[in-house]
Structure 1
Amino acid sequence: MQNEERKKKAFNPFKYILSYISICVFYLFFKMPAFLVIFLTEATGLIIWMLGLSLRFQAMRNLRLVYGDKLTRKELKAIARSSIKHIVRMFLEFGYYLRPPFEVAEEIPIEGEEYLKEALEGGRGVLAVGSHVGNFMLLLCSLSLRGYPISFLYKEPKDERVKNYVRRLQEKIKLKVIPVKPRNEAAARSKSTLEKGEILWVALDQDTRGRAVGVEFFGVKATMPPGPAELIAETGAAVLPMYMRRNGWMDHTIVVKKPLKINLTSDEEKDVYNILKRINEELEEIILANPKEWWWVHRRWKRAYKYEDDPALGED
């Protein structure tokens, strides 16, 4: 046991250098002119596409699962390539938008803002159904800078230097974060956020380890955390899907969709499943409308094998 702890605490020069370089690069992007950010993003995206064989393979595999024979290999490849470039673009343009006094981020238009305002007026909080579509980090920052009381569940970086740098940035833009660990504390803070009538943003489009429910996603069961659905049932919070739509370079729109209708029964297990299934249906619609902006490289169906023989719990 002691040997394992020593290994974890052992100094890793490679990780130290990599984290230092990451911070320096991100800082540089705060200073670079927009045209240089665009050029470097295009170049970096192309390099990753050419050399990242495992990423390309995973993206194509996911695309074939979703689209089947509806699109040609050439069309699927174009989506995969654009998706990888989008991920690079998302991180690199982030620094440009968060330059003090943050006016650029604050001025991003919001489509459907009336739904968000109405939901907040209800006083029961808002569970924002998030996803890795568009520049979701910019969405969070823009809403926070506008004065919306928004918190989001966040997996903190393991590296202390990166963690401290990110924390300082979050404090500057007054963005509230809820670390996912320890889980009991994260659950309590999440519930408190909704009970105070605030916004809790949760990304629900990625593979889940630990306590999970198998729910159909593009026809194949994937893991989802039951916690958000349980919070919705317990608090009566409004459920609003929202994402960031890219209109062009350095041009975005925050999209807030109509609140989802949630029908509860006396069967808690079935309610959790049906809430998550309804959320997945909404996420599918958003992804299909913006396929080049989703993270196809993620192993979303990594644990699908667990549910191959499990019957659905959905409504008859």
Structure 2
Amino acid sequence: MPKKSIKPKIYKVEVKDYILYFFERIFLAVFVFLTRFIPIKYFYPLATLIGKIGSFIFPPYKRRVLGNLELAFGPEKTAKEKIAIFREAGINMIKNYFEMLAAVNPKNRSYLIQAIQVEGKENLEASLKKGNGVIAIGGHLGSFTLIGIKMQAEGFDFHTIARGITDPLRKNVYEKY
């Protein structure tokens, strides 16, 4: 069977995209600047508010997430329970985004390192003692972007390989920060 080539999605950049990314750039610049003076824990109420509002104003996202929850849980959870999971996931996604950006500031980085709990560290240490290194494969769950700073703080060499951002405007924003 011939190999299927994996090609990144090609985005067509439209005027509305430039407008959205203009505001995203402003938000990122202001947020990163503010985290120099304001600890991340004070941004959590704002993240909660944005997550709640976002769950109402982005119907395509809601349909996609609820569709995924339907696939994952089927009849095991009621529609009400799935909506509650969707709302909480939206809030947590915004909190994770804020934490990722706030980690630029050393004070916030220390706070986040203390807040992140590691389970099963003894398994990692036992594997490393064998001398071959460890490859860990993780999912896109929670604040997965912060695991590197925690593992480095615990004394482990840690490297991340991730798919690049294919959207040229968003890529520019994230490479800057």
TM-score by length of 2: 0.74
Q: Which amino acid aligns with 1:37?
A: F
Q: Contact conserved, 2:32 with 2:104, CA < 8 A, in 1?
A: no
Q: Does 1:40 align with 2:46?
A: yes
Local SS of the residue matching 1:152: coil
> 2 CA distance for matches of 1:34 and 1:59?
27
Unaligned runs of 5+ in 2: 1-11
Given candidates 68, 74, 89, the residue that maps to 1:68 is 74
> 2 CA distance for matches of 1:27 and 1:51?
25
CA deviation after TM superposition for structure 1 residue 99, in Å? 2.5
Partner of 2:172: 160
> 1 CA distance for matches of 2:41 and 2:123?
35
Q: 1:161 to 1:75 in 2, by over 3 A?
A: closer
Unaligned runs of 5+ in 1: 1-6, 166-316
Alignment of 1:1-316 (within 5 A): 14=19, 17-18=22-23, 20-31=25-36, 32-34=38-40, 36-100=42-106, 102-107=109-114, 108-157=116-165, 158=168, 159-165=171-177
Partner of 1:179: none
> 2 CA distance for matches of 1:72 and 1:17?
40
> 2 CA distance for matches of 1:112 and 1:54?
38
Give the structure with the larger helix fraction.
Answer: 2
Q: 1:16 to 1:59 in 2, by over 3 A?
A: closer
What per-residue deviation string (whole Å, max 9, x for no partner) do you get for residues 90-136 of structure 1? 11133445531532233333221111111112222211120122210
What per-residue deviation string (whole Å, max 9, x for no partner) do you get for residues 156-187 of structure 1? 4434353142xxxxxxxxxxxxxxxxxxxxxx
Local SS of the residue matching 1:130: coil
Greater radius of gyration (CA): 1
> 2 CA distance for matches of 1:161 and 1:97?
16
Q: 1:141 to 1:148 in 2, by over 3 A?
A: same
> 2 CA distance for matches of 1:16 and 1:73?
34
Local SS of the residue matching 2:136: strand
> 1 CA distance for matches of 2:20 and 2:91?
25
Q: Which amino acid aligns with 1:30?
A: T
CA deviation after TM superposition for structure 1 residue 140, in Å? 2.0
Q: 1:97 to 1:17 in 2, by over 3 A?
A: closer
> 2 CA distance for matches of 1:38 and 1:160?
26
What per-residue deviation string (whole Å, max 9, x for no partner) do you get for residues 241-278 of structure 1? xxxxxxxxxxxxxxxxxxxxxxxxxxxxxxxxxxxxxx
Q: 1:13 to 1:51 in 2, by over 3 A?
A: closer
CA deviation after TM superposition for structure 1 residue 15, in Å? 6.6
Q: Which amino acid aligns with 1:163?
A: E
CA deviation after TM superposition for structure 1 residue 74, in Å? 0.5
Q: Contact conserved, 1:140 with 1:150, CA < 8 A, in 2?
A: yes
Taking only aligned residues, the RMSD between alpha carbons, in angstroms, comes to 2.6
TM-score by length of 1: 0.44
Give the structure with the larger strand fraction.
Answer: 1
Identity across matched positions, percent: 24
> 1 CA distance for matches of 2:159 and 2:100?
19
Q: Contact conserved, 1:41 with 1:92, CA < 8 A, in 2?
A: yes
